[in-house]
Amino acid sequence: MRVPIPTDVFQHPSFIMTRLHHVLETGFSNILDLLHNPPTDDLDNFLGYCDAWATSLLSHHDAEENTLFPILNTKLDFSQEQEQHKEMHDSIEKFSAYIRAARADNTKFDAKLLLQVLSDSKEVLLTHLHDEIEHLEATRLRAVFSETEIKKMTESMRKYSLAHQDPFVALPFIVGHTPPEYRSWPPLPWMVAKVILPQVIARRHSGWWKYATYSMS
């Protein structure tokens, strides 16, 4: 049985953030594990998968900084979350640069170096992913925001993400790291979820998603 999307508008931000952060944390843990014994016989696909994780994380933070934080900071203090973004971005952007260099030239692949870069960011990354969910708790939002304001905020983030993320990367990455019981989100029409995603969208980078935690269907 799938866990439904909450009907209470004030629960939407923490629910959506919980799902997104679970996706990012699952991908992070998966890459850490794989780097201990990397698939060197399938390096291009593995590096594409790693790049997809870094891109998804940085894109998610970009969306937050351009849509959520400006609104939340009018009545609450999300400066801690913004500082956490800054703290981890040096490591994640360094990781991304190493991955892209190795994609261009496989001889530059260095699993130990990539492990070290990710390990350096682990504490602040995991702390941030957990703290932000708590700070978006429904009672905190309900105390200072109207239902209309929260609806506007979540819709602005949705539209920003759709406009700035590559659907051939973002959607398969999200679905590929979401447990089946939570597939109520993102809310995809049956045709998209069962046909277009697995047979069209996910096929563009199909080799990457063999490293995802869950199947697309």
User: Domain for residue 122, yes or no?
Assistant: yes
Q: Which residues contact 46 (CB under 8 A, 6 or more apart)?
A: 34, 38, 39, 211
Block mean pLDDT (10 aa), the chain, length 217:
93 97 98 97 98 97 96 95 90 95 96 95 94 96 98 96 96 97 94 95 97 91
Structure tokens at 186: 């993102």
The CATH number for 14's domain is 1.20.120
Residue 126 lies inside a defined structural domain of this protein? yes
**Residue 197 lies inside a defined structural domain of this protein:** no
pLDDT at 1: 81
- Does 175 fall in a domain? no
Residue 102 lies in a domain: yes
Question: Is the CB of residue 20 less than 8 Å from the CB of residue 162?
Answer: no
Instruction: State the pLDDT at residue 3.
Output: 93
**Alpha carbon distance 133, 170 (integer Å):** 20
Whether 93 is covered by a domain: the verdict is yes
Q: What is the pLDDT of residue 21?
A: 97
Residue 108 pLDDT: 96
pLDDT of residue 174: 97
Residue 140 is part of which domain span? 10-168
**Residue 216 confidence (pLDDT):** 84
CB contact at 8 A, 99 and 31:
no
For residue 73, tell me if it sits in a domain. Answer: yes
The reply to whether 49 falls in a domain is yes
Q: Number of structural domains, the chain?
A: 1
Q: Do residues 117 and 91 make contact, with C-beta atoms less than 8 angstroms apart?
A: yes
